A = this chain, B = another copy of it.
Amino acid sequence: MPNPTAAMLVIGDEILSGRTRDANMYHLAGVLTEAGIDLREVRVVSDDRGAIIAAVQALAAAFDNVFTSGGIGPTHDDITADCIAAAFNKKIDVRDDARAILEKHYATTGTELNAARLRMARIPDDAVLIENPVSSAPGFTLENVHVMAGVPSVFKAMVESLLPTLSGGAPLVSETLRIDRGEGDIAGPLGALAAEYPMLSMGSYPFQKKNGKYGSNVVIRGTDGALVHKVIEQLSTSFPK
């Protein structure tokens, strides 16, 4: 059975303006690979209602899981929850279960649960909450879309809460071989290996050495670890040090 598929939607002007370097995509990509869920596409869109709704609908229709990050805080630019509700034609309002979580949290910290903070309890009908052990305001899953915060520590914690509830597949095993030759020298033999083993994915990533010459890291990935290892050995024999 093929592995389940996934896409990610990163929501936020701060990434597109270059102010912030995304960290959540890199984190999620690694975690999903370990879990045997194939991340096939990532989109980054701005805090724009039309753009968010269109992207969610396209990705939710094309992949088994969609993970979103960003736009679920208390400020005016936090519009993700309302957009997800609109994308699935669901009502959204302050929900009692989410409100109770916030009340408890802010009572403990002695902070006022004002109108702005209460916006974080706006959850679409039929959504299931995702626990947030860092700052309490929950994420949620609606249909196949998992809605999480953009702050990296909170995003990570929500992914940890969510992941055990998802069906994974066979984790990808990968091995890397460093070859002290440019990609142009290894492309022929590597292409032949890729054709011989279509069940493996082979990538080649050039790097420049201190002397200015190029080397290549060849990465071979697959669900059959023994086969990955065998092919790496074979390649290593073709390009002795």
Given A40-B51, A153-B208, are A188 and B18 neighbors across the interface (CB < 8 Å)? no
Asked whether A203 lies within 8 Å of B13 as measured between CB atoms, the reply is: yes
Interchain CB contact (< 8 A) of A75 among B31, B117, B183: B183
A202 CB within 8 Å of chain B: yes
Asked whether B13 lies within 8 Å of A18 as measured between CB atoms, the reply is: no
Interchain CB contact (< 8 A) of A17 among B114, B172, B185: B172
Asked whether B40 lies within 8 Å of A42 as measured between CB atoms, the reply is: no
A209 CB within 8 Å of chain B: no
- Which residue on chain B has the smallest CB distance to residue A221? B17
- Which residue on chain B has the smallest CB distance to residue A195? B76
Interchain CB contact (< 8 A) of A187 among B14, B75, B184, B194: B75
Return A154 CB to nearest CB of chain B, in Å. Answer: 9
Return A159 CB to nearest CB of chain B, in Å. Answer: 12
CA distance A222 to B32 in the complex (A): 37
A16 CB within 8 Å of chain B: yes
Q: Please give, as numbers and ranges, the residues of chain B lying within 8 Å of A33 by CB-CB distance.
A: 17-18
B-binding segment of A21-29, A81-89, A90-98, A226-234: A21-29
Return A6 CB to nearest CB of chain B, in Å. Answer: 9
Interchain CB contact (< 8 A) of A77 among B21, B185, B202: B202
A190 CB within 8 Å of chain B: yes
Q: Please give, as numbers and ranges, the residues of chain B lying within 8 Å of A195 by CB-CB distance.
A: 76
Given A111-B182, A194-B77, A219-B19, are A203 and B44 neighbors across the interface (CB < 8 Å)? no
Interchain CB contact (< 8 A) of A18 among B29, B41, B111, B184: B29
A15 CB within 8 Å of chain B: yes
Interface hits, A22-73 → B, CB 8 Å: 22, 25-33, 39-47, 51, 73
12 examples of A-B residue contacts, CB within 8 angstroms: A16-B29, A17-B29, A22-B22, A25-B44, A41-B46, A74-B187, A76-B187, A114-B185, A116-B184, A116-B188, A116-B191, A117-B184
Question: Which A residues contact B (CB, under 8 angstroms)?
Answer: 10, 12-22, 25-33, 39-47, 51, 73-77, 111-112, 114-117, 119, 135, 151, 153, 172, 174, 182-188, 190-191, 194-195, 201-206, 208, 214, 219, 221
